Amino acid sequence: MSDPLRLGIAGLGTVGAGVVKIVRQKATLLAERAGRPVVVSAVSARTRDKDRGVPLSSYAWEDDPVALATRDDVDVFVELMGGSDGPAKAAVEAALAAGKDVVTANKAMLAHHGQALAELAEANGAVLRFEAAVAGGIPVIKALTESLAGNDIQRVVGVMNGTCNYILTRMEDGGLTYEAAFAEADALGYLEADPTLDVGGIDAGHKLSLLAAIAFGTQVDFDAVELEGIGKVTIDDIRQAADMGFRIKLLGVSRMTGRGLEQSMAPCLVPAASPLGQLAGGTNMVVIEGDQVGQIVMRGAGAGEGPTASAVMGDVMDIARGLRVSTFGRPAGTLARATPAKATAAAPYYLRMALVDRPGALAKAAQALGEAGVSIHRMRQYDHVDDAAPVLIVTHKTTRPSLDQALAAMMATGVVTHEPVALRIEEV
């Protein structure tokens, strides 16, 4: 059997400890599958004496992750510290500069610095892998870079943040307000230290930007992702969308168009009976559409010790077997800088508004839509609330600029009590 593949693991939180457990508990299985032993040589974390539920005394300890990344007895640097800059980035750069392969779960770092790190890896003959950075245990990176390599990818769609999906599911199943569901998720420890990373769509936007780069052969451009969180989604939206056969999801959508690369992460309606509509709790789902394979749906745990550590080990095992794949599936120098494009592909929209209680109000709202070229597919009016009439409209396919023109004209008529809520309906 060949020499062992030696890991240096920086970051011993939930995922890092999970990786150590897999290496220790499944040593024979890993060696049989890789054709060589996989071992841990050294580790690094902020606190040395913390009980992490797994023995660490047999491994060398480095206080400085950069020192760990450049040790002679480390073949693969496993970065699980997190953070887009700081020690994580410095250690990864040091490992790549030394020609060492890197496996990371750090979506923020790659979303902001992925192109430069990919170029550094290739310049030094190293591999940079990041399956664990997107959708936890779902092998979506491997699918795009390897299994679907013979396809031109047409669209990538997905629910990529389990916390947001949990909140939206609890709002529907439990009849909870957004605030109550948020508090419940917080109490269960589902939220990031900065909750806006989750509910603001930033975490999921990082992941979408990485998938888009692989799918469409472009440089990572997180700054071009259109972001809208779930904070404005109300229990009324949840109930009324369900009443019309839809569910609301924080949905990432990316497609290459004649105008450029669309990347949006925003609340959308999906058909309740669709795979995405059936997705509940903290589960993730990614839908990939290729010209040869059609639509592929991948569903699984998007976070947690086991699923994320499993993804890390998948990358480690590929390296142990000698598989060398470019960071984003193609040589970094060939990746194009995409022209950002707003998500204006025609789609139906869900509109919720409250009309003033006077004759002709509904007619004026409908006229504003019609004059902007937006036709109504379905409409429902509910009982008056505080002298206002709640109205729901599902449009036929239209572009966002046309819809914005209609909404502006509607506001100018004075028949709506506040700015209407407009959510795109994504057909999946």
pLDDT value for 384: 67
Mean pLDDT of 122-147: 95
pLDDT value for 381: 82
Mean pLDDT of 158-171: 94
Mean pLDDT of 182-196: 88
pLDDT value for 282: 86
pLDDT tens for residues 288-307? Answer: 999 999 999 999 988 888 89
Task: Give the Cα separation of 196 and 203 in Å (integer).
Answer: 9
Q: What band does 32 get if pLDDT is binned at 50, 70 and 90?
A: very high
Is residue 11 scored above 70 in pLDDT? yes
pLDDT value for 79: 98
Is residue 387 scored above 80 in pLDDT? no
Task: Give the Cα separation of 357 and 384 in Å (integer).
Answer: 8
Give the whole-number percent of the chain exceeding pLDDT 70. 99
Is residue 225 scored above 90 in pLDDT? yes
Is residue 184 scored above 80 in pLDDT? yes
Mean pLDDT of 348-366: 89
Identify the residue with better confidence: 49 or 337. Answer: 337
Is residue 1 scored above 70 in pLDDT? no
pLDDT value for 304: 84
207 as an active site residue: the answer is: yes
Query: Catalytic residue among 207, 249, 342, 397, which?
Result: 207
Provide the token pair at 387: 């002298």
Q: What band does 258 get if pLDDT is binned at 50, 70 and 90?
A: confident
Mean pLDDT of 36-60: 93
